[in-house]
Amino acid sequence: MIIVLNNKSNLTREEFIEYQSELSKIKSKHNIVLCPSIIHIANFYLENIHLGSQNVSKDKNGSHTGEVSSLQLKSFDVEYCLVGHSERREEFNETNLVISKKIKGLLEEKVIPILCIGEYTKEDLDTTVKVLKKQISTTLKELTEEEKKKVIIAYEPRWAIGKGKTSQIKEIDHTLKSIKEILPNNLLLYGGGITEYNIKDLKKSSFLDGYLLGGLSLDINKFKKFLQELEK
């Protein structure tokens, strides 16, 4: 399983140093990926955890003030990168076309894209599946079949982020199954509202290959409890 920790815009320099120190003590049979704020990537040193980025520019190196290219990320040994997170779509008006360019650029540098998809409001299952299928088809349409297989899909309903609430496992599995029918060879993660308590039900899913953790990633004690429950 892959567990992705998305720190978002959190942790000062001093806090990140302490945070890494605690993460360095964690042992798990699962692959853990840390996506810190980009400002902390240069200070990453963990050997028990893989390095990811929260974002990347749609453009290559050049005159793009404030942006970080896929080539720059690769030069810091970044292995994974989030793209299309709902907060990027909503707050920065990122379109499927922009996200598509980011994925293409990452693959060129052999950085694994983690494509975030999800509905903004709680919908009926059929509507949710239609929304997700459109997001997938428009963001991956420029890729070859082999390239598509390299993209990790993270299903994260926008309405569940930061709320500690998720749908019933049957509803989640219905949605995940629909995604697997489109992309049977892709790894599939779930995120949004995951806690150290509801993982007990979420891990019953028949289709999940891992989890994307936001708020939970920032609390080491809660994350440890999450891992303990997951590995039971």
CATH number of the structural domain spanning residue 92: 3.20.20.70
Residue 174's pLDDT band (cuts 50, 70, 90): confident
Model pLDDT for residues 50-108, shown as the tens digit of each residue: 999 999 999 999 999 999 999 999 999 999 999 999 999 999 999 999 999 999 999 99
- The C-alpha atoms of residue 28 and residue 25 are separated, in whole angstroms, by 10
The whole-number average pLDDT for the span 99-121 is: 94
Query: pTM above 0.85?
Result: yes
Q: What are phi and psi for residue 218, nearest 5 degrees?
A: -85, -15
Residue 192's pLDDT band (cuts 50, 70, 90): confident
- The C-alpha atoms of residue 158 and residue 191 are separated, in whole angstroms, by 9
* Exposed e or buried b per residue across 5-18, where buried means at least 16 C-beta atoms within 10 angstroms of its C-beta: bbbbebbeeeebee
Q: What's the total number of domains in the chain? A: 1
- The C-alpha atoms of residue 168 and residue 176 are separated, in whole angstroms, by 12
What is the structure's pLDDT at 129? 86
What range does the domain containing 56 cover? 2-230
What is the structure's pLDDT at 185? 94
Q: What is the mean pLDDT of the chain?
A: 92
In the chain, % of residues over pLDDT 70: 94
What is the structure's pLDDT at 123? 60
What is the three-class DSSP state of 70?
helix
What is the structure's pLDDT at 193? 84
What is the structure's pLDDT at 232? 85
* Exposed e or buried b per residue across 186-207, where buried means at least 16 C-beta atoms within 10 angstroms of its C-beta: bbbbbbbbbbbebbeebbebeb
Task: List 191's β-bridge partners, or say none.
Answer: 212
What is the structure's pLDDT at 119? 82
* Exposed e or buried b per residue across 43-61, where buried means at least 16 C-beta atoms within 10 angstroms of its C-beta: ebeeeebbbbbbbbbbeee
Contact residues for 190 (Cβ-Cβ < 8 A; gap 6+): 154, 155, 156, 172, 176, 202, 205, 208, 210, 211, 212
Lowest-pLDDT choice from 30-34, 47-51, 147-151, 197-201: 197-201
Query: Annotated catalytic sites, by residue?
Result: 85, 156
